[in-house]
Chains A and B, each alone.
Chain A
Amino acid sequence: MAALHLNEANFEEEVLKSDKPVIVDFWASWCGPCKMLGPIVEQISDERDDVKVCKVDVDANGSLAEKYSVMSIPCVFLFKDGEVAGKSVGALPKDQLLKALGL
Protein backbone atom coordinates (compact mmCIF):
# COMPACT_ATOMS: atom_id res chain seq x y z
CA MET A 1 0.00 0.00 0.00
CA ALA A 2 1.32 3.44 -0.88
CA ALA A 3 2.37 5.67 2.00
CA LEU A 4 -0.36 7.99 3.25
CA HIS A 5 0.30 11.72 2.94
CA LEU A 6 -0.67 13.49 6.12
CA ASN A 7 -1.53 17.06 7.02
CA GLU A 8 -2.23 19.02 10.16
CA ALA A 9 -5.90 18.05 10.05
CA ASN A 10 -5.58 14.26 9.90
CA PHE A 11 -2.35 13.68 11.83
CA GLU A 12 -4.04 12.97 15.12
CA GLU A 13 -6.58 10.56 13.65
CA GLU A 14 -4.12 8.67 11.44
CA VAL A 15 -1.08 8.63 13.73
CA LEU A 16 -1.87 9.33 17.36
CA LYS A 17 -5.07 7.25 17.39
CA SER A 18 -3.78 4.44 15.19
CA ASP A 19 -4.05 0.85 16.45
CA LYS A 20 -0.95 -0.13 14.53
CA PRO A 21 2.52 1.38 15.00
CA VAL A 22 3.03 4.24 12.51
CA ILE A 23 6.17 5.26 10.62
CA VAL A 24 6.10 8.98 9.76
CA ASP A 25 8.62 10.33 7.24
CA PHE A 26 9.10 14.11 7.49
CA TRP A 27 10.39 15.27 4.11
CA ALA A 28 10.50 18.14 1.59
CA SER A 29 10.56 18.25 -2.19
CA TRP A 30 13.82 20.25 -2.30
CA CYS A 31 15.71 17.81 -0.06
CA GLY A 32 17.92 15.32 -1.97
CA PRO A 33 18.41 12.81 0.87
CA CYS A 34 14.62 12.86 1.40
CA LYS A 35 14.15 11.83 -2.21
CA MET A 36 16.67 9.03 -1.73
CA LEU A 37 14.70 7.80 1.26
CA GLY A 38 11.30 8.11 -0.46
CA PRO A 39 11.36 4.80 -2.37
CA ILE A 40 12.73 2.99 0.70
CA VAL A 41 9.80 4.22 2.81
CA GLU A 42 7.38 3.19 0.05
CA GLN A 43 8.99 -0.25 -0.03
CA ILE A 44 8.46 -0.66 3.70
CA SER A 45 4.85 0.38 3.17
CA ASP A 46 4.44 -2.35 0.54
CA GLU A 47 6.16 -5.06 2.55
CA ARG A 48 4.94 -4.57 6.09
CA ASP A 49 1.35 -5.12 7.12
CA ASP A 50 2.12 -4.66 10.79
CA VAL A 51 2.95 -0.95 10.46
CA LYS A 52 1.25 1.99 8.81
CA VAL A 53 3.53 4.23 6.75
CA CYS A 54 2.87 7.96 6.40
CA LYS A 55 4.62 11.05 5.08
CA VAL A 56 4.57 14.69 6.17
CA ASP A 57 5.69 17.44 3.79
CA VAL A 58 7.35 19.90 6.17
CA ASP A 59 6.84 22.86 3.82
CA ALA A 60 3.07 22.43 3.92
CA ASN A 61 2.90 21.33 7.56
CA GLY A 62 5.38 23.49 9.44
CA SER A 63 3.52 23.21 12.73
CA LEU A 64 3.86 19.41 12.75
CA ALA A 65 7.59 19.67 12.08
CA GLU A 66 7.85 22.19 14.91
CA LYS A 67 5.75 20.13 17.30
CA TYR A 68 8.09 17.17 16.92
CA SER A 69 11.24 19.35 16.87
CA VAL A 70 12.21 18.27 13.37
CA MET A 71 15.36 20.26 12.59
CA SER A 72 16.98 18.04 10.00
CA ILE A 73 15.34 16.04 7.23
CA PRO A 74 14.67 13.34 6.27
CA CYS A 75 13.51 12.60 9.81
CA VAL A 76 11.57 9.40 10.39
CA PHE A 77 9.58 8.72 13.55
CA LEU A 78 7.95 5.58 14.85
CA PHE A 79 4.77 6.24 16.83
CA LYS A 80 3.24 3.63 19.12
CA ASP A 81 0.04 4.31 21.02
CA GLY A 82 0.28 8.01 20.26
CA GLU A 83 3.83 8.33 21.58
CA VAL A 84 7.17 8.68 19.81
CA ALA A 85 8.83 5.26 20.12
CA GLY A 86 11.75 5.72 17.72
CA LYS A 87 13.50 8.31 15.55
CA SER A 88 16.02 8.25 12.70
CA VAL A 89 17.65 11.22 10.95
CA GLY A 90 19.14 11.04 7.44
CA ALA A 91 18.80 8.75 4.43
CA LEU A 92 19.51 5.17 5.47
CA PRO A 93 19.20 1.86 3.59
CA LYS A 94 16.07 -0.08 4.51
CA ASP A 95 17.64 -2.52 6.98
CA GLN A 96 19.42 0.25 8.85
CA LEU A 97 16.32 2.42 8.95
CA LEU A 98 14.17 -0.38 10.40
CA LYS A 99 16.87 -1.16 12.94
CA ALA A 100 17.16 2.51 13.95
CA LEU A 101 13.39 2.58 14.52
CA GLY A 102 13.52 -0.65 16.49
CA LEU A 103 11.45 -2.60 13.93
Chain B
Amino acid sequence: MKYDVIIIGAGTAGLTAAIYVQRAGKQALVLEGATYGGQIVNSPEIANYPGFKNISGFEFVTALYEQASALGMEFKNETVTEVTKSDEGFIVTTTVDKYEGASVIIATGAKRRKLNVPGEDEFAGAGVSYCATCDGMFYRKKKTAICGGGNTALDDAVFLSNYCESVTIVHRRDGFRGEPSTLELLRSKENVHFLTDVTVDSLTGEGKLSALNYTDHKTGEKGSLAVDGCFIAVGQVPDTEFVKDIVELDSAGYVIAFEDCRTNIPGIFTAGDCRTKTVRQLTTAAADGTVAALAAVDYVK
Protein backbone atom coordinates (compact mmCIF):
# COMPACT_ATOMS: atom_id res chain seq x y z
CA MET B 1 0.00 0.00 0.00
CA LYS B 2 1.11 3.51 -0.69
CA TYR B 3 0.67 6.07 2.06
CA ASP B 4 -0.21 9.68 1.36
CA VAL B 5 2.21 10.99 3.96
CA ILE B 6 4.93 9.12 5.81
CA ILE B 7 5.87 10.97 8.97
CA ILE B 8 9.21 10.13 10.51
CA GLY B 9 9.20 10.79 14.25
CA ALA B 10 6.39 10.67 16.80
CA GLY B 11 7.14 13.69 18.95
CA THR B 12 4.89 16.72 19.18
CA ALA B 13 5.64 17.82 15.58
CA GLY B 14 5.10 14.38 14.03
CA LEU B 15 1.92 13.55 15.95
CA THR B 16 0.43 16.99 15.25
CA ALA B 17 1.19 16.46 11.56
CA ALA B 18 -0.58 13.08 11.74
CA ILE B 19 -3.71 14.74 13.18
CA TYR B 20 -3.85 17.25 10.33
CA VAL B 21 -3.16 14.64 7.64
CA GLN B 22 -5.92 12.37 8.93
CA ARG B 23 -8.40 15.21 9.29
CA ALA B 24 -7.70 16.17 5.68
CA GLY B 25 -8.88 12.70 4.65
CA LYS B 26 -5.42 11.37 3.82
CA GLN B 27 -3.56 8.42 5.31
CA ALA B 28 -0.53 9.00 7.53
CA LEU B 29 2.02 6.40 8.54
CA VAL B 30 4.11 7.44 11.53
CA LEU B 31 7.44 5.69 12.02
CA GLU B 32 9.24 6.01 15.35
CA GLY B 33 12.27 4.08 16.58
CA ALA B 34 11.73 4.87 20.25
CA THR B 35 8.58 5.13 22.34
CA TYR B 36 6.25 7.88 21.07
CA GLY B 37 6.32 11.36 22.55
CA GLY B 38 9.82 12.67 21.96
CA GLN B 39 11.77 14.89 24.34
CA ILE B 40 8.79 16.42 26.14
CA VAL B 41 8.16 13.10 27.91
CA ASN B 42 11.05 14.04 30.21
CA SER B 43 9.30 17.22 31.37
CA PRO B 44 7.40 16.70 34.61
CA GLU B 45 5.52 19.92 34.03
CA ILE B 46 4.57 21.96 30.97
CA ALA B 47 3.36 25.42 31.92
CA ASN B 48 3.72 27.30 28.62
CA TYR B 49 1.44 25.45 26.23
CA PRO B 50 -1.63 27.56 25.45
CA GLY B 51 -4.79 26.24 27.05
CA PHE B 52 -3.06 24.20 29.75
CA LYS B 53 -2.09 25.79 33.03
CA ASN B 54 -0.15 22.73 33.95
CA ILE B 55 0.20 19.32 32.32
CA SER B 56 2.96 16.71 32.48
CA GLY B 57 4.87 15.83 29.33
CA PHE B 58 3.63 12.25 29.62
CA GLU B 59 -0.04 13.28 29.83
CA PHE B 60 0.40 15.70 26.94
CA VAL B 61 1.95 13.22 24.50
CA THR B 62 -0.36 10.41 25.51
CA ALA B 63 -3.37 12.60 24.72
CA LEU B 64 -1.74 13.63 21.44
CA TYR B 65 -1.00 10.02 20.50
CA GLU B 66 -4.54 8.90 21.35
CA GLN B 67 -6.01 11.78 19.36
CA ALA B 68 -3.96 10.90 16.26
CA SER B 69 -4.72 7.17 16.68
CA ALA B 70 -8.45 7.79 16.96
CA LEU B 71 -8.29 9.70 13.68
CA GLY B 72 -6.77 6.66 11.96
CA MET B 73 -3.05 7.32 12.04
CA GLU B 74 -1.03 4.19 11.40
CA PHE B 75 1.91 3.86 13.81
CA LYS B 76 4.90 1.55 13.61
CA ASN B 77 7.74 1.24 16.10
CA GLU B 78 10.51 1.06 13.52
CA THR B 79 13.72 3.02 13.05
CA VAL B 80 14.10 4.67 9.65
CA THR B 81 17.46 4.12 8.02
CA GLU B 82 17.00 5.71 4.59
CA VAL B 83 14.69 7.79 2.42
CA THR B 84 15.01 7.49 -1.37
CA LYS B 85 13.06 8.73 -4.39
CA SER B 86 10.85 6.35 -6.31
CA ASP B 87 8.94 6.85 -9.59
CA GLU B 88 5.87 8.22 -7.89
CA GLY B 89 7.07 9.33 -4.51
CA PHE B 90 9.47 8.08 -1.89
CA ILE B 91 10.62 4.80 -0.39
CA VAL B 92 11.20 4.92 3.34
CA THR B 93 13.37 2.06 4.56
CA THR B 94 13.33 0.96 8.21
CA THR B 95 15.23 -1.69 10.11
CA VAL B 96 12.19 -3.93 9.50
CA ASP B 97 10.60 -3.11 6.13
CA LYS B 98 10.17 -0.62 3.28
CA TYR B 99 7.20 1.72 2.85
CA GLU B 100 6.10 3.83 -0.07
CA GLY B 101 4.79 7.33 0.47
CA ALA B 102 3.62 10.07 -1.88
CA SER B 103 5.23 12.54 0.48
CA VAL B 104 7.44 12.53 3.57
CA ILE B 105 7.65 14.70 6.68
CA ILE B 106 10.91 14.57 8.61
CA ALA B 107 10.04 15.24 12.26
CA THR B 108 12.79 13.41 14.09
CA GLY B 109 13.63 16.20 16.50
CA ALA B 110 16.85 16.53 18.39
CA LYS B 111 18.56 14.73 21.21
CA ARG B 112 21.02 15.71 23.91
CA ARG B 113 24.54 16.12 22.58
CA LYS B 114 27.13 13.81 24.08
CA LEU B 115 30.41 15.00 25.53
CA ASN B 116 32.15 12.28 23.49
CA VAL B 117 34.73 11.39 26.10
CA PRO B 118 35.94 7.98 27.27
CA GLY B 119 33.72 6.57 30.02
CA GLU B 120 30.59 8.45 28.98
CA ASP B 121 28.82 5.41 27.48
CA GLU B 122 30.26 2.99 30.01
CA PHE B 123 28.76 4.89 32.97
CA ALA B 124 25.44 5.85 31.36
CA GLY B 125 22.84 5.02 34.01
CA ALA B 126 25.66 4.41 36.51
CA GLY B 127 26.66 8.00 37.21
CA VAL B 128 26.29 9.66 33.80
CA SER B 129 22.91 11.23 33.06
CA TYR B 130 21.37 13.55 30.49
CA CYS B 131 18.29 14.42 32.54
CA ALA B 132 18.67 16.12 35.92
CA THR B 133 14.95 16.25 36.63
CA CYS B 134 14.66 12.50 35.90
CA ASP B 135 17.67 11.24 37.81
CA GLY B 136 18.51 14.01 40.31
CA MET B 137 16.88 12.26 43.25
CA PHE B 138 19.35 9.38 43.05
CA TYR B 139 22.10 11.85 43.91
CA ARG B 140 20.60 13.19 47.10
CA LYS B 141 23.45 14.25 49.44
CA LYS B 142 26.00 13.20 46.81
CA LYS B 143 28.64 15.04 44.81
CA THR B 144 27.65 15.91 41.29
CA ALA B 145 28.97 17.80 38.28
CA ILE B 146 26.99 19.39 35.49
CA CYS B 147 28.76 19.94 32.17
CA GLY B 148 27.62 22.85 30.03
CA GLY B 149 27.16 26.61 30.04
CA GLY B 150 23.69 27.24 28.62
CA ASN B 151 20.28 27.58 30.20
CA THR B 152 19.72 23.84 30.46
CA ALA B 153 22.97 23.39 32.37
CA LEU B 154 22.25 26.29 34.72
CA ASP B 155 18.64 25.25 35.35
CA ASP B 156 19.80 21.69 36.00
CA ALA B 157 22.40 23.03 38.44
CA VAL B 158 19.72 24.93 40.37
CA PHE B 159 17.58 21.79 40.51
CA LEU B 160 20.47 19.59 41.66
CA SER B 161 21.69 22.11 44.24
CA ASN B 162 18.47 21.55 46.18
CA TYR B 163 19.27 17.86 46.70
CA CYS B 164 22.97 17.27 46.29
CA GLU B 165 25.80 17.76 48.73
CA SER B 166 27.64 19.68 46.04
CA VAL B 167 27.19 20.66 42.40
CA THR B 168 30.18 21.68 40.31
CA ILE B 169 29.41 23.45 37.05
CA VAL B 170 32.02 22.35 34.53
CA HIS B 171 32.30 24.57 31.47
CA ARG B 172 34.80 24.88 28.65
CA ARG B 173 34.72 28.70 28.74
CA ASP B 174 34.83 31.34 31.47
CA GLY B 175 31.62 33.01 30.37
CA PHE B 176 28.12 31.52 30.37
CA ARG B 177 25.42 31.72 27.70
CA GLY B 178 22.66 31.03 30.22
CA GLU B 179 20.48 33.58 32.02
CA PRO B 180 22.53 36.01 34.16
CA SER B 181 19.90 35.90 36.92
CA THR B 182 20.18 32.09 37.17
CA LEU B 183 23.95 32.41 37.24
CA GLU B 184 23.71 34.96 40.04
CA LEU B 185 21.45 32.63 42.04
CA LEU B 186 23.95 29.79 41.58
CA ARG B 187 26.88 31.97 42.66
CA SER B 188 25.03 32.71 45.89
CA LYS B 189 24.65 29.03 46.78
CA GLU B 190 27.22 27.55 49.12
CA ASN B 191 27.08 24.05 47.67
CA VAL B 192 27.57 25.20 44.05
CA HIS B 193 31.11 25.42 42.67
CA PHE B 194 32.49 26.47 39.31
CA LEU B 195 35.18 24.78 37.25
CA THR B 196 35.50 26.87 34.12
CA ASP B 197 37.82 27.12 31.12
CA VAL B 198 38.50 23.40 31.21
CA THR B 199 38.17 20.45 28.84
CA VAL B 200 36.71 17.23 30.19
CA ASP B 201 39.11 14.42 29.23
CA SER B 202 37.41 11.35 30.64
CA LEU B 203 34.94 9.94 33.14
CA THR B 204 36.31 7.14 35.27
CA GLY B 205 35.31 4.77 38.04
CA GLU B 206 34.89 1.15 38.89
CA GLY B 207 31.42 -0.21 38.19
CA LYS B 208 30.07 3.27 38.73
CA LEU B 209 31.35 6.76 38.10
CA SER B 210 33.76 8.25 40.65
CA ALA B 211 35.79 10.94 38.87
CA LEU B 212 35.66 13.57 36.17
CA ASN B 213 39.14 14.18 34.75
CA TYR B 214 39.94 17.49 33.04
CA THR B 215 42.60 19.79 31.65
CA ASP B 216 42.73 23.46 32.67
CA HIS B 217 43.03 25.61 29.52
CA LYS B 218 45.01 28.41 31.18
CA THR B 219 47.62 26.39 33.01
CA GLY B 220 47.58 23.22 30.93
CA GLU B 221 47.44 21.27 34.19
CA LYS B 222 45.39 18.13 34.55
CA GLY B 223 43.02 17.65 37.42
CA SER B 224 40.43 15.26 38.75
CA LEU B 225 37.11 16.01 40.43
CA ALA B 226 35.57 13.35 42.67
CA VAL B 227 31.92 12.92 41.67
CA ASP B 228 29.13 10.38 42.11
CA GLY B 229 27.15 11.82 39.24
CA CYS B 230 27.88 13.74 36.07
CA PHE B 231 24.99 15.43 34.26
CA ILE B 232 25.60 16.42 30.67
CA ALA B 233 23.87 19.45 29.14
CA VAL B 234 26.08 20.55 26.28
CA GLY B 235 23.40 21.27 23.71
CA GLN B 236 21.45 19.22 21.24
CA VAL B 237 22.00 17.48 17.93
CA PRO B 238 19.29 16.91 15.33
CA ASP B 239 18.51 13.32 14.46
CA THR B 240 18.97 13.73 10.71
CA GLU B 241 21.98 11.63 9.76
CA PHE B 242 19.78 9.18 7.80
CA VAL B 243 18.46 11.87 5.41
CA LYS B 244 21.74 13.67 4.70
CA ASP B 245 21.96 12.17 1.21
CA ILE B 246 18.50 13.29 0.12
CA VAL B 247 17.79 16.74 1.65
CA GLU B 248 19.96 19.74 2.37
CA LEU B 249 21.20 20.06 5.95
CA ASP B 250 23.03 22.98 7.54
CA SER B 251 26.50 22.57 9.05
CA ALA B 252 25.01 21.52 12.41
CA GLY B 253 22.81 18.88 10.75
CA TYR B 254 19.44 20.67 10.86
CA VAL B 255 17.18 20.20 7.82
CA ILE B 256 17.17 23.47 5.91
CA ALA B 257 13.63 24.85 5.56
CA PHE B 258 11.86 28.15 6.26
CA GLU B 259 8.55 28.61 8.04
CA ASP B 260 6.76 26.87 5.14
CA CYS B 261 8.55 23.65 6.22
CA ARG B 262 9.52 22.80 2.62
CA THR B 263 12.94 21.20 2.07
CA ASN B 264 14.89 21.51 -1.17
CA ILE B 265 13.17 18.34 -2.43
CA PRO B 266 9.52 18.77 -3.53
CA GLY B 267 7.42 16.30 -1.55
CA ILE B 268 9.72 16.18 1.46
CA PHE B 269 8.80 18.48 4.33
CA THR B 270 10.27 18.93 7.80
CA ALA B 271 8.76 19.89 11.14
CA GLY B 272 9.88 20.52 14.70
CA ASP B 273 13.26 20.70 16.39
CA CYS B 274 15.15 19.13 13.46
CA ARG B 275 14.34 22.13 11.23
CA THR B 276 16.57 25.23 10.95
CA LYS B 277 14.92 27.83 13.18
CA THR B 278 15.59 29.99 16.21
CA VAL B 279 12.77 29.06 18.60
CA ARG B 280 12.35 25.42 19.59
CA GLN B 281 9.32 25.09 21.83
CA LEU B 282 6.35 22.76 22.12
CA THR B 283 4.17 25.40 20.46
CA THR B 284 6.53 25.78 17.49
CA ALA B 285 6.75 22.00 17.10
CA ALA B 286 2.95 21.84 16.93
CA ALA B 287 2.91 24.79 14.51
CA ASP B 288 5.47 23.11 12.24
CA GLY B 289 3.53 19.85 12.31
CA THR B 290 0.45 21.73 11.14
CA VAL B 291 2.21 23.64 8.37
CA ALA B 292 4.13 20.60 7.10
CA ALA B 293 1.01 18.39 7.12
CA LEU B 294 -1.11 20.88 5.18
CA ALA B 295 1.72 21.43 2.68
CA ALA B 296 2.08 17.64 2.26
CA VAL B 297 -1.68 17.21 1.82
CA ASP B 298 -1.64 19.94 -0.82
CA TYR B 299 1.32 18.27 -2.55
CA VAL B 300 -0.37 14.86 -2.82
CA LYS B 301 -3.75 16.25 -3.90
Task: Report which A residues bind B (CB closer than 8 A).
Answer: 28, 30-33, 35-37, 40, 58, 65, 69-73, 75, 87, 89-95
Contact = CB atoms under 8 A, between A and B. Distances in A.
A92 B138 CA distance: 21
Contacts of A71: 125-127, 129, 135, 138-139, 208, 229
Nearest to B228: A71
A89 B208 contact: no
Interface string B39-52: 00111100000000
The residue in A33, A92, A95 that gathers the most chain B C-beta atoms within 10 A of its C-beta is: A33
B287 to A, nearest CB: 23
B134 A31 contact: yes
B41 A32 contact: yes
A52 B33 CA distance: 26
Contacts of A90: 125
30 contacts: A28-B137, A30-B44, A31-B134, A32-B37, A32-B43, A32-B57, A33-B41, A33-B42, A35-B58, A36-B37, A36-B41, A40-B35, A71-B125, A71-B129, A71-B135, A71-B138, A72-B124, A72-B125, A72-B126, A72-B131, A72-B134, A72-B135, A72-B138, A73-B134, A91-B34, A91-B35, A92-B34, A92-B35, A93-B33, A93-B34
Contacts of B126: 69, 71-72
A72 B231 CA distance: 11
B78 to A, nearest CB: 9
Contacts, number: 66
Size class of the B contact interface (CB-based, 8 Å): 20 to 34
B125 A93 contact: no
Contacts of A35: 58
Nearest to A65: B138
Interface string B171-196: 00000000000000000000000000
Interface in B137-184: 137-139
Given A70-B138, A72-B124, A72-B134, 20 more contacts: A31-B134, A32-B43, A32-B44, A32-B56, A36-B35, A36-B36, A58-B137, A65-B138, A69-B208, A71-B127, A71-B129, A72-B126, A72-B138, A73-B135, A87-B125, A91-B34, A91-B41, A92-B34, A93-B33, A93-B35
